[in-house]
Amino acid sequence: MDVRFLRSKTALVSTADKLARAGLPLYVRNWYHESGSNSRSEKGSRTVEQETPLGGGPDRPARNVGSRKRARKFPKGRQLDLAALEQVRELLGDRPRRHDLLIEYLHLIQDHYHCISARHLRALCDELRLPQAAAYEVATFYAHFDVVKEGETPPPPTTIRVCDSITCAIKGAQALYDALKAGANPAQVRVVKAPCMGRCDTAPVCEVGHYFVDHAKPETVEAAVKGGKHDPDIPKYTDLAAYRAEGGYAMLAECREGKRKVEDLIKEMSDAGLRGLGGAGFPAGKKWQIVRSFSGPRLMTINGDEGEPGTFKDRYYLERNPHQMFEGALIAAWAVEAERIYLYMRDEYPAVLHILAHEIAALEEAGLIKKGDIELRRGAGAYICGEESAMIESIEGKRGYPRNRPPYIAEVGLFDRPTLNHNVETLYWVPEIMEKGAKWFADHGMNGGKGFRSWSVSGRVKKPGVIVAPAGVTVNELIGRAGGMEDGQKFKAYLPGGASGGILPARLGDVPLDFGTLDQYGAFVGSHAIVIFSQQDRIADVAINLLQFFKNESCGQCTPCRVGCDKAVALLQRDNWDPDLLSELAQAMSDASICGLGQAAPNAFVTAMEFFSDEPGPTNGAGPPARY
């Protein structure tokens, strides 16, 4: 029998034993095996030698010495640097060597060395038994990783990110960027533009390392750099002890003690009208029913990648009372019998990541969950990972590419298992609905809506922030709750649902805001991000900013979105818009894009043409879309 076959078979058995001993669930062990990783899962499971057998290597046998071809001394490609390998092993410590943890380990290297060098990437591939191409495509996909090849200059030790999304843009982000760029020493400080950081209520915003400068000015940002501020400020919040002292986790206890039935709980969520509040608005109770209909083991994911420009409500809750979300998540996981929860949080929220890691450890120590029941995963600067299937790809250690559907993730989700996915705010309401009843929540709606909504309000208002108001509220009422328009500003237009939801005029300020109420105007509420504009803001510039955002954040997987966003920006930057050509482009993007990014991106310029054709500038005379 072939000795190589016996060796490979022994390696497979050994790896399976190691994964089982590590306590990993069967679905992870199976997925890990099927993904092609039949290598070590523990540190030091093999020794590294500099020499290679004659003509051989780890993936092929040595050639016969008598072969007419000379054997290679080393395999092709980038060679392994033993010093870099030891450095990577030191960073990884005793963490498991699994493919789905690739992004977590790239973060370790980036955080420690402020970049990812080619030699460290090569060493990480060796440690995880990954092809270099697979790791490289992941590392270069995410904006927060700086991959540096041989001969290239690493980035300076300090990076200043200037938010250029729509609220910061109308608050002077471009002038701030220009001033910082002109005053920075490129050898010490790098100044770059960045998409929405979820702090629109304090625009304009800069991030120095992971330290945020709110209401940023050149002098305040420079002071932060000179003061060596690179770490986030951790706000005061309700920790586990304080939450339990107020009666927290009582609803979870009722579920686990059998005082609540799953069927009754699902009905209660349905009667309350609780919906997904990340953008899609799918009924929560119905989603639980669908996931339960597929055989286990089941998993659960929490989408904390709140990247829609203008949105910051999830950060608001997690920086104040994270355990109400945790309790809602554990109740939902109990309802669908999910074995593990994966919490995906955007990298732009470093304070939230700190809080979540600390409180998950507190839950484990208190015995409310077992170690590993909730696994925190860190995003890396990709808006597309707010799309549920792209987020799942990212959790699995891959590029954030949305999946074709069907199958939907409720049937084939994370690690190919049925998966319940929820937004942070949706879960936040679950314990309160259980405690106070479905009628309490549903009755707070208005104009036909059900329940509360958390509206992220920013722009030209006096008191921007998160406003908890009934579903069906109008934008005029929200402006009033936000203190009214800024002095000297007149309400002109608004975004009802962040960058994706279209641009509506002030004359539609009394239309109820809820899922479905804006369909006739080509708009939607989405993530409930309200951005207010005044006569000072040119709608053409707003549309260009939004499309530039989509162009930068498109994952590039499908042509209608990748090319469509690029062409849209070029067409919008012309002195006069071509309504027929833009309408045709919008139709192609909407019909053929894989996910909601490309499908919703045209909403900005389509609604701009429809409602602002009388405004001087490129939109003048454009009129309603001809073929959309």
Handedness of CA 598, 601, 605, 610 (dihedral sign): positive
Dump the DSSP string for 1-56.
Answer: --HHHHHHHHHHHHHHHHHHHTT--HHHHHHHHHTT--S--STTSS---S---TT-
In angstroms, the CA 189 to CA 212 distance is: 16
Q: Decide: helix, strand or coil at residue 381.
A: coil
Query: Longest Cα pair distance anywhere in the chain, in angstroms?
Result: 88
The residue type at 531: V
Q: Decide: helix, strand or coil at residue 340.
A: strand
Which phi-psi region, left, alpha or beta, contains residue 551 (left: φ > 0; alpha: ψ -120 to 50)?
alpha
pLDDT for 352: 98
Tokens of 127: 């440690």
Question: 452-534 maps to which CATH number?
Answer: 3.10.20.600
Which phi-psi region, left, alpha or beta, contains residue 498 (left: φ > 0; alpha: ψ -120 to 50)?
left
Q: Which residue has the tokens 């109740």?
A: 331
Who's near 161: CB < 8 A, 6+ residues apart?
192, 193, 194, 197, 206, 207
Name the fold adopted by 240-438: Rossmann fold (3.40.50)
Who's near 568: CB < 8 A, 6+ residues apart?
547, 550, 551, 582, 585, 589, 601, 602, 605
Query: Does the structural domain 158-226 have CATH classification 3.40.30.10?
Result: yes
The conformation of residue 275, written as its DSSP 8-state character, comes to B
Tokens of 472: 């069906």
The residue type at 438: A
In angstroms, the CA 370 to CA 473 distance is: 42
Tell me the whole-structure pTM to 2 decimals: 0.89
In angstroms, the CA 453 to CA 279 distance is: 12
Domains of the chain by residue range:
3-61+72-148, 158-226, 240-438, 452-534, 539-611
In angstroms, the CA 428 to CA 417 distance is: 25
Contact 27, 337 (CB under 8 A): no
In angstroms, the CA 54 to CA 183 distance is: 57
Contact 385, 400 (CB under 8 A): yes
Handedness of CA 384, 137, 101, 403 (dihedral sign): positive
Contact 338, 410 (CB under 8 A): no
In angstroms, the CA 611 to CA 622 distance is: 10
Who's near 89: CB < 8 A, 6+ residues apart?
43, 44, 127
Who's near 158: CB < 8 A, 6+ residues apart?
188, 189, 190, 208, 209, 225, 230
pLDDT for 46: 43
Question: 539-611 maps to which CATH number?
Answer: 1.20.1440.230
Peptide bond into 616 cis (omega under 30): no
Element (H, E) at 256: helix 250-256
Who's near 499: CB < 8 A, 6+ residues apart?
165, 166, 308, 309, 310, 546, 549, 550, 604
Q: Decide: helix, strand or coil at residue 307.
A: coil
The residue ranges of the chain whose pLDDT is under 50 are: 1-13, 21, 32-33, 35-62, 627-628
